[in-house]
C-alpha cells in the first residue's frame, strides 16, 4: 500500500535547507500495523507530514508510492481523497465550525472528488451516530466548534472519530497517545482496532510502548536522526521501553 524509497526531506530554516529525513525506506502492506518509535527530533512527525503532503517540507530525493502511484505531485487534499489520513499530534482549532459541519464538508468534498453525489443528510446522521457511539462521544460534543476549548483527550478522540468517519486506507496516528488518560487511551485504541481490516493499514507514531499494548503492531521501526536504524516485531517496543534509545545509538555508531 505505502512504499517509501530512500526518502530525503528538508525544511527551509530561514533560507537554509535543513535536512530532516535522510533516506527512509519503509513498506506497509494492507492489513498491517506498523509502529515508528524514536526520540524527540528524530523526524517522526516530519515523516507523517511528508506522507500527508505538507508543503512546508521539500522532498529532495526518493519516492513515496501509494498503491503504486507516485504521490509527490499530489496536493494534500488529493492524497486525502485517495485514502491517506493523518491524526494530528496537535489538532488545530477552527472557531465557529462545528465538528459535524467540518465532517460533513470533508466527506462531501471527498465524494465530489470521486464524482459522487453529496451524502444524503439522513445517511450522514446515521454515520455520525454510529461512529460517535464507537468512540463513546457525547452528541453535544459534535455541535461544538472544532477543537476549540477541547481538552487534550477530547482532541485526540475527535481525531479518531474523524478517521472513523472518513474510513481511510492508510491511517497515520501521530502521537495520538500523548495527552490521553488511561480510559481515553483504551477508547481510542479500541476504536482503531475496530476499524482495522485486511484492506487498510495503520502507522502508529509514538514515544511510548503504552499505546502498543492496545494497538498491537506487526512491525516496529526505530527512527533515529532521519533514518530507520532498526526494525523488528512488537517485542522491540518492549526492549526500547526498558532500555531507552541509547543502546541503539551505540549500535548504530559502532
Partner 1 sequence: MSKYTEDDLREELKTKEYEYGFYTDIESDTFPIGLNEDIVKAISLKKGEPQWMTDWRLEAFKAWKEMIEPEWANVSYVKPDFQGISYYSAPNSKPKYDSLDEVDPELLATFAKLGISLDEQKKLSGVAMDVVVDSVSVATTFKKTLGEKGIIFCSISEAIKEYPELVKKYIGSVVPQRDNFYAALNSAVFSDGSFCYIPKGVRCPMELSTYFRINQAGTGQFERTLVIADEGSYVSYLEGCTAPSRDENQLHAAVVELIALDNAEIKYSTVQNWYPGNAEGKGGVYNFVTKRGICEKNAKISWTQVETGSAITWKYPSCILKGDNSVGEFYSIAVTNNFQQADTGTKMIHLGKNTKSTIISKGISAGKSQNSYRGLVKISPNADNARNFSQCDSLLMGNDCGAHTFPYIEAKNKTAKIEHEATTSKIGEDQIFYCNQRGISTEKAIALIVNGFSKDVLNKLPMEFAVEAKKLLEISLEGSVG
Q: How far apart are CA 216 and CA 111, in angstroms?
A: 32
**Residue 252 contacts partner 1 per CB under 8 A:** no
**Residue 66 contacts partner 1 per CB under 8 A:** no
User: Which listed range, 19-27, 52-60, 209-217, 221-229, lies at the site for partner 1 (CB under 8 A)?
Assistant: 52-60
**Residue 167 contacts partner 1 per CB under 8 A:** no
At 18, is the secondary structure helix, strand, or coil? strand
**Residue 200 contacts partner 1 per CB under 8 A:** no
**Shortest distance, position 226 Cβ to partner 1, whole Å:** 21
* Whether 181 contacts 209, CB under 8 Å: no
**Residue 86 contacts partner 1 per CB under 8 A:** yes
Site for partner 1 in 7-46 (CB under 8 A): none
> Between residues 19 and 98, which has the closer beta carbon with respect to partner 1?
98
**Shortest distance, position 191 Cβ to partner 1, whole Å:** 17
> Between residues 140 and 198, which has the closer beta carbon with respect to partner 1?
140
* Whether 241 contacts 222, CB under 8 Å: no
**Residue 57 contacts partner 1 per CB under 8 A:** no
**Residue 144 contacts partner 1 per CB under 8 A:** no
**Residue 72 contacts partner 1 per CB under 8 A:** no
Signed CA dihedral, 27, 68, 119, 100: sign only:
positive
**Residue 161 contacts partner 1 per CB under 8 A:** no
Residue with cell 524527540: 40
What is the grid cell recorded at 78?
A: 488529493
CA nearest neighbour of 153 among 131, 130, 176? 176
> Between residues 113 and 125, which has the closer beta carbon with respect to partner 1?
113
* Whether 232 contacts 219, CB under 8 Å: yes
Q: How far apart are CA 161 and CA 67, in angstroms?
A: 25
**Residue 76 contacts partner 1 per CB under 8 A:** yes
User: Which listed range, 4-12, 27-35, 74-82, 183-191, lies at the site for partner 1 (CB under 8 A)?
Assistant: 74-82
Q: What DSSP character marks residue 104?
A: H
Q: Which long-range contacts (CB under 8 A, 24 or more apart) does 181-185 make?
A: 181/153, 184/153, 184/156, 184/157, 185/210, 185/211, 185/214
CA nearest neighbour of 58 among 16, 92, 100? 16
**Shortest distance, position 248 Cβ to partner 1, whole Å:** 31
**Shortest distance, position 159 Cβ to partner 1, whole Å:** 10
**Residue 96 contacts partner 1 per CB under 8 A:** yes
> Applying CB under 8 A, which residues contact partner 1?
52-56, 75-77, 80-81, 85-86, 88, 91-97, 101-102, 105-107, 109-110, 113, 145, 162, 166
Amino acid at each position: 500500500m505505502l512504499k517509501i524509497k530512500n526518502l530525503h526531506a528538508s525544511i527551509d530554516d530561514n533560507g537554509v535547507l535543513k535536512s530532516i529525513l535522510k533516506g527512509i525506506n519503509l513498506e506497509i502492506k494492507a492489513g498491517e500495523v506498523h509502529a515508528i518509535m524514536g526520540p524527540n527530533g528524530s523526524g517522526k512527525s516530519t515523516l507523517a507530514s511528508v506522507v500527508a503532503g505538507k508543503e512546508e517540507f521539500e522532498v529532495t530525493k526518493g519516492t513515496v508510492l501509494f498503491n503504486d502511484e507516485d504521490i509527490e505531485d499530489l496536493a494534500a487534499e488529493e492524497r486525502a481523497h485517495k485514502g491517506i489520513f493523518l491524526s494530528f499530534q496537535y489538532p488545530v482549532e477552527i472557531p465557529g465550525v462545528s465538528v459535524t459541519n467540518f465532517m460533513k464538508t470533508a466527506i462531501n468534498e471527498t465524494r465530489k472528488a470521486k464524482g459522487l453525489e453529496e451524502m444524503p443528510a439522513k445517511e450522514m446522521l446515521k454515520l455520525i451516530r454510529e461512529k460517535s457511539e464507537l468512540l463513546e462521544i457525547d452528541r453535544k460534543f459534535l455541535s461544538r466548534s472544532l477543537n476549540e476549548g477541547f481538552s487534550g483527550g477530547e482532541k485526540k478522540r475527535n481525531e479518531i472519530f474523524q478517521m472513523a468517519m472518513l474510513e481511510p486506507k492508510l491511517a497515520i496516528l501521530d502521537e495520538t497517545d500523548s495527552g490521553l488518560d488511561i480510559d481515553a487511551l483504551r477508547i481510542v485504541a479500541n476504536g482503531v482496532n475496530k476499524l482495522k481490516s485486511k484492506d487498510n493499514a495503520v502507522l502508529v507514531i509514538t514515544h511510548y510502548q503504552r499505546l502498543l499494548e492496545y494497538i498491537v503492531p506487526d512491525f516496529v521501526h526505530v527512527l533515529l536522526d532521519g533514518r530507520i536504524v532498526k526494525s523488528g516485531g512488537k517485542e522491540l517496543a518492549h526492549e526500547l521501553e526498558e532500555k531507552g534509545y541509547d543502546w541503539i545509538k551505540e549500535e548504530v555508531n559502532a
